[in-house]
């Protein structure tokens, strides 16, 4: 289904992240595949793809995930939130997940840390004193999109890690949202 969704998207392509056993193994591991819709000379459309196991996330993937999530939110508004939370969908991969905030700092979607949903995080500071959510929102509201460096908790861990987060401002009807995702790195 994820392959068909990527190939059937308006762009006709996209990355898909999922669990699948490596050849010769019975144990699933993370696999990333790039899927593209192509039209053969006969005029018939096909979906082709290629995958790799345990690929490391980088800024290009984060930007792609945020842009796809932002397009979905722009089109469907709050109705998109369930799809963004789906841990088996294209917006959650290893320790990467999409979040959605309001301009006042209320976290609406956070598949990585669902306990934050509904809370206003505007005053939250990281271990370095950065006003994390305030900085993300200010950047998105001023420039439309951009990267913010911060320290945040990886899902399932209790110590903050360095994280680079890409955020994008999205207008859906009368509602404004900040859609983002990040990549954790080493100190």
Confidence of residue 186 (pLDDT cuts 50, 70, 90): low
Burial classification of residue 120, based on how many CB atoms lie within 10 Å of its CB (0-12 exposed, 13-18 middle, 19 or more buried): middle
The predicted-structure confidence for 119-176, as pLDDT tens digits, reads as follows 999 999 999 999 999 999 999 999 999 999 999 888 778 888 899 999 999 999 999 9
The predicted-structure confidence for 54-76, as pLDDT tens digits, reads as follows 776 678 889 989 999 999 999 99
Identical fold, 2-53 and 82-184: yes
Burial classification of residue 73, based on how many CB atoms lie within 10 Å of its CB (0-12 exposed, 13-18 middle, 19 or more buried): buried
Say yes or no to pLDDT of 10 above 80.
Answer: no
Architecture of the CATH domain 82-184: 2-Layer Sandwich (3.30)
**pTM for the model:** 0.77
Asked if CATH classification 3.30.565.10 holds for the domain at 2-53, the reply, yes or no, is no
Q: Where are the domains of the chain?
A: 2-53, 82-184
Mean pLDDT across the chain: 90
Say yes or no to pLDDT of 187 above 70.
Answer: no
Instruction: Give the pLDDT of residue 16.
Output: 82
Separation in Å, CA 98 to CA 23, 159, 171: 30, 20, 17
Instruction: Give the pLDDT of residue 55.
Output: 72
Instruction: Give the pLDDT of residue 43.
Output: 94
Shortest CA distance to 126 belongs to which of 81, 182, 169? 182
Say yes or no to pLDDT of 9 above 80.
Answer: no
Nearest-Å Rg of the Cα atoms of the chain is 17
Instruction: Give the pLDDT of residue 53.
Output: 85
The predicted-structure confidence for 73-114, as pLDDT tens digits, reads as follows 999 999 999 999 998 788 988 788 999 999 999 999 999 889
* Rounded Cα gap, residues 175 and 101, in angstroms: 11
């Amino acid at each position: 289904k994820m392959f068909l969704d990527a190939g059937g998207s308006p762009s006709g392509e996209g990355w898909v992240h999922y669990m699948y056993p490596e050849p010769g193994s019975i144990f699933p591991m993370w696999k990333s595949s790039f899927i593209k819709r192509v039209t053969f000379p006969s005029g018939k459309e096909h979906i082709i793809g290629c995958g790799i196991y345990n690929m490391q996330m980088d800024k290009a993937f984060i930007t792609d995930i945020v842009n796809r999530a932002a397009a979905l939110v722009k089109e469907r508004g709050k109705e998109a939130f369930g799809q963004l939370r789906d841990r088996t969908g294209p917006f959650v991969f290893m320790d990467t997940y999409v979040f959605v905030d309001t301009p006042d700092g209320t976290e609406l979607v956070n598949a990585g840390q669902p306990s934050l949903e509904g809370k206003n995080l505007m005053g939250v500071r990281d271990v370095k004193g950065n006003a994390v959510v305030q900085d993300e929102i200010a950047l998105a509201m001023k420039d439309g999109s951009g990267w913010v460096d911060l320290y945040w908790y990886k899902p399932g861990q209790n110590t903050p890690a360095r994280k680079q987060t890409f955020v994008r401002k999205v207008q859906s009807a009368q509602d404004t949202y900040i859609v983002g995702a990040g990549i954790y790195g080493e100190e």
